[in-house]
Amino acid sequence: MSVIAAKTQKLSLVQAVTDGLRTVMKDQEEVLVLGEDVGKNGGVFRATEGLQQEFGEDRVIDTPLSEAGIVGTAIGLAINGFLPVVEMQFLGFIYPAFEQIMSHATRIRMRTMSRFHVPMVIRAPYGAGVKAPEIHSDSVEAIFTHMPGIKVVCPSNPYDAKGLLIASIEDPDPVLFLEPMRSYRAFKDEVPTERYTVEIGKANRLKEGTDVTVIAWGAMIPLAMKAAENAQKQNIHCEVIDLRTLYPLDRETISTSVQKTGRAVIIHEAHATSGLGADILSLIQDTSFLYLKAPIQRVTGFDVPVPFYTLEKHYLPDENRIIEAIKRAVNF
Amino acid sequence: MVEVKLHDIGEGMTEGEIVSYLVKVGDRVQSDQPLVEVQTDKMTAELPSPTTGIVKEILVSEGSLVPIGTTILIIESGQTKQVQHEVTVSSNRNKAEKTNRLILAAPYTRKIARELGIDIEKINGTGPAGRITDEDVYNYGTKAVEPMAPKIKEVTNNEVESDEIPFKGRRKQIASLMSKSLFTIPHVTHFEEVDMTNLLDCKQQCKDSGVNVSVAAFFIKAIQLTLIKYPIFNSVLDEDHGVIKLKKEYNIGIAVDVEDGLIVPVIPHVEQKTVKAIHEEMKIAIEKAQNNTLTKADISNGTFTISNVGPLGGIGATPIINHPQTALIAFHKTKKKPVVINDEIVIRSMMNLSMSFDHRVADGATAVRFTNEFVHLIENPSRMLLEMK
């Protein structure tokens, strides 16, 4: 934890996002919120609830249904001194805005030799497990971690959600802020009422262990922790690392841990092929090859579109699959 | 030219002793004809000829201890006449071996080997699919530093003079198995007294009727009958998979004391055999052990072991379990002793037994119940008859 809070309140992850937005908007008039139904309606997941009443229609803006338009507008605002926070209703809805992000948001700093930069945040609920329809459950972070110029951040708990969101708004470059919608209201944490940040680019070691390093983020963290506790009963001591930032990766935390344990299990709900897991695997092989006692294991979603809700749980990594992978690594 | 090499003839052996040659230079040999007798850590085996031809050269003398992969002899199988060519082949031998061998080892294992200055390609793996484990490297490392010994001897010149027995072969194998067992299994031993009088009477009756069976054969049958009731002692703890495997076969090993150490031939499927059959098999097994002709099959797949030290003497012991089994019983000297039965002092033939068990797998109370049942069968041989299938 980066601050010792004098005052805290118990918040869910989505409430911590609202609290983070409110905290920054109170301090800085340049912070704007844009998106479909973010104003009067308070957002599809109520993440911006009450903000329009508090800060007015000029700062919490209901936009037309046009993701490319929203992101394009936000880029213009950001270049001209505002700090826009865009809400995508679901990460899967970001595809129409892809061109704006890839061709402009990520490149303006380089294109203008740093005369202009894009201090913009795109918030996007992502992931499966809430029985949403097609496209609503996508976990396509790898599409964005592939592109230099945009940071990708993904909190797994309310404390990190507020701290990372504020850090993302303060960041001078575009940040894609992924919110695990499965964890939105799953549990509550003590969250400081004041303004604080969680540093972008730093992973968090949630549990110390000696036998195997379990690497995950977002909605996979509660599963990883459960599996690690279960493994502990079988005398396997897992070290659990919450990446928190997916780009740039915290190379040091990952390699230090794997060099200690000699084994790694990577968990993500996105498809396996060209998923971020492959990159982490490659990072480990670059930094820690000589320490490896077993092949690195991956537990991921399958290479199919996220299926409808009757099959959703078969698609997603579950505790059993994670435990099996941990055992494969340890018993190799 | 075909080089006959010492290969691994079972259970990840690393070296073997050349006992004797069955052929000599110039002999014509057929494919699969036995060429040489090799004594491994556990058994004696014959190496068959890989080809038909003439024995050209014998490279290792009888009595030598050689590592796996060593060329023992050369057979000329083709029309090769050029001596020059032959020399080239043999001088390149080591190099060729090294590059041709496929090594399975995790990066970390390779790193350890490199740090210890060990050529990993010389190590034989004991892991899955022959993979070299960290342990293999460390074990090899211990071997590799052996040449250091004479140096140490020079330094300590006030050492008491001693005769030296080479610590190798079966002695070394026994040492490593015993250490492994004692280091991995938390041993608990408990003792019990058995009244042998009735069993000895029973044995005498059998003898009078013309069938002579040893007491040990009765023990083996009684053990098997007891194991049916307490299968936990007929098990193997598989820590890797987190299970205790209760074996469905009752293969009882008998620790046999032979000249160069202890060896444990196994009587398989005791549950299908009569006391008489057990006795006959046991006789053959002991004979084979003494003649050093046990094969790998004869000493494999034991599920429980007994050690009958009675004939030698001794009243108690803390036997070491035959890893990875769960328990072992040792039987001691039987002697006549005054015993109180129904408040009267009578003379009975009494024997002590010592039962060691793996305390991870079973507890003391179960072990005591196990020996109680065994003792009950031995003290009431007629009961044993009723239990037999």
Which residue on chain B is closest to A294 by alpha carbon? B106
Give the closest of B108, B240, B241 to A291, CB-based.
B108
| Tens of pLDDT, residues A8-43 | 999 999 999 999 999 999 999 999 999 999 999 999
Residue A279: CB atoms within 10 Å: 17
Q: CA-CA distance, B47 to B40, in Å (whole number)?
A: 12
As a whole number of Å, the end-to-end CA separation of chain A is 36
Tell me the three state secondary structure of residue A298: strand
* Chain B residues in contact with A292 (beta carbon < 8 A): 106-108
Residue type, A163: G
Average pLDDT over residues B77-88: 43
| Tens of pLDDT, residues A149-158 | 999 999 999 9
A172-to-A71, A116, A150 alpha-carbon distances in Å: 16, 10, 10
* Chain B residues in contact with A213 (beta carbon < 8 A): none
CA dihedral for A307, A308, A313, A317, sign (positive or negative): positive
- pTM score, whole prediction: 0.55
Confidence of residue B101 (pLDDT cuts 50, 70, 90): low
Is it the case that residue B94 has pLDDT exceeding 50?
Answer: no
Q: Phi then psi for B4, rounded to 5 degrees?
A: -95, 120
- Choose among B359, B331, B326, B320: nearest CA to B176: B320
| Tens of pLDDT, residues B108-166 | 998 888 888 888 888 888 888 888 998 888 888 776 554 444 444 444 556 677 888 87
Q: CA-CA distance, A203 to A254, in Å (whole number)?
A: 8
Quote the percentage of chain B above a pLDDT of 90. Answer: 38
| Tens of pLDDT, residues B12-53 | 677 888 888 888 888 888 888 888 888 876 677 788 888 888
Which residue of B104, B108, B112 to mutate against A (max A Cβ within 10 Å)? B108
Confidence of residue A73 (pLDDT cuts 50, 70, 90): very high
Is it the case that residue B297 has pLDDT exceeding 90?
Answer: no
| Tens of pLDDT, residues B340-377 | 989 999 999 999 999 999 999 999 999 999 999 999 99
B362-to-A44, B192, B369, B370, B376 alpha-carbon distances in Å: 59, 18, 11, 11, 21
> Is B111–A294 a contact, with Cβ atoms under 8 angstroms apart?
no
> Is B108–A234 a contact, with Cβ atoms under 8 angstroms apart?
no
Q: CA-CA distance, B232 to B370, in Å (whole number)?
A: 10
Read off the tokens for B345: 């002092």
Lowest mean pLDDT among A24-38, A78-92, B296-310: B296-310
Which residue on chain A is closest to B133 by alpha carbon? A293
Which residues contact residue B9 at a Cβ distance below 8 angstroms, ignoring those fewer than 6 apart?
B16, B38, B40, B45, B47, B296
Confidence of residue A188 (pLDDT cuts 50, 70, 90): very high
Give the closest of A234, A293, A331 to B108, CB-based.
A293
Kindly report the nearest CA distance between residue A234 and chain B, in angstroms. 8
> Is A290–B108 a contact, with Cβ atoms under 8 angstroms apart?
yes
Which residues contact residue A53 at a Cβ distance below 8 angstroms, ignoring those fewer than 6 apart?
none
* Chain B residues in contact with A290 (beta carbon < 8 A): 107-108, 110-111
Q: What does the pLDDT read at residue B149? A: 41
Confidence of residue B88 (pLDDT cuts 50, 70, 90): very low
Lowest mean pLDDT among A95-104, B21-30, B202-211: B21-30
| Tens of pLDDT, residues B226-278 | 999 999 999 999 888 889 999 999 999 999 888 777 889 999 999 999 999 99
Is it the case that residue B78 has pLDDT exceeding 70?
Answer: no
- Give A206-274 as a DSSP string: EE--SSEEEEE-TTHHHHHHHHHHHHHHTT--EEEEE--EEES--HHHHHHHHHHHS-EEEEEEEESTT
Give the closest of B108, B110, B240 to A262, CB-based.
B108
* Chain B residues in contact with A332 (beta carbon < 8 A): 106
Q: List residues in chain A touching B: CB distance below 8 A.
A: 234, 262, 289-294, 331-332
Give the closest of A234, A293, A331 to B106, CB-based.
A293
Asked if residue B306 lies in contact with residue B255, where contact means CB atoms within 8 angstroms, the answer is: yes
Is it the case that residue B4 has pLDDT exceeding 50?
Answer: yes
Please state the three-class secondary structure of chain B as a single string. CEEEECCCCCCCCCEEEEEEECCCCCCEECCCCEEEEEECCCCEEEEECCCCEEEEEECCCCCCEEECCCEEEEEECCCCCCHHHHHHHHHCHHHHHHHHCCCCECHHHHHHHHHCCCCHHHCCCCCHHHCECHHHHHHHHHHHCHHHHHHHHHHCCCCCCCCCCCCCHHHHHHHHHHHHHHHHCCEEEEEEEEECHHHHHHHHHHHHCCCCCCHHHHHHHHHHHHHHHCHHHHEEEECCCCEEEECCCCCEEEEEEECCEEECCEECCHHHCCHHHHHHHHHHHHHHHHHCCCCCHHHCCCCEEEEECHHHCCCCCCCCCCCCCCEEEEEEEEEEEEEEECCEEEEEEEEEEEEEEECCCCCHHHHHHHHHHHHHHHHCHHHHHHHCC
Read off the tokens for A155: 């909190």
The residue ranking higher by pLDDT, B167 or B132, is B132
Which residue on chain B is closest to A332 by alpha carbon? B128
Average pLDDT over residues B180-196: 91
> Is A292–B109 a contact, with Cβ atoms under 8 angstroms apart?
no
DSSP state of A110: H
Q: CA-CA distance, B375 to B226, in Å (whole number)?
A: 10
* Chain A residues in contact with B108 (beta carbon < 8 A): 262, 290-293
Asked if residue B286 lies in contact with residue B256, where contact means CB atoms within 8 angstroms, the answer is: yes
Average pLDDT over residues B176-203: 90
Kindly report the nearest CA distance between residue A327 and chain B, in angstroms. 9
| Tens of pLDDT, residues A273-314 | 999 999 999 999 999 998 999 999 999 999 999 999 889 999
Kindly report the nearest CA distance between residue A248 and chain B, in angstroms. 27
A136 catalytic residue (yes or no): yes
Q: What does the pLDDT read at residue B97? A: 43
> Is A292–B108 a contact, with Cβ atoms under 8 angstroms apart?
yes
Q: CA-CA distance, B128 to B133, in Å (whole number)?
A: 9
Asked if residue B45 lies in contact with residue B37, where contact means CB atoms within 8 angstroms, the answer is: yes
Asked if residue A138 lies in contact with residue A126, where contact means CB atoms within 8 angstroms, the answer is: yes
Which residues contact residue B216 at a Cβ distance below 8 angstroms, ignoring those fewer than 6 apart?
B254, B279, B282, B306, B308, B331
Is it the case that residue A328 has pLDDT exceeding 50?
Answer: yes
> Is A292–B134 a contact, with Cβ atoms under 8 angstroms apart?
no
Is it the case that residue B209 has pLDDT exceeding 50?
Answer: yes
Among A104, A117, A136, A146, which one carries the catalytic annotation? A136
Q: CA-CA distance, A171 to B287, in Å (whole number)?
A: 84
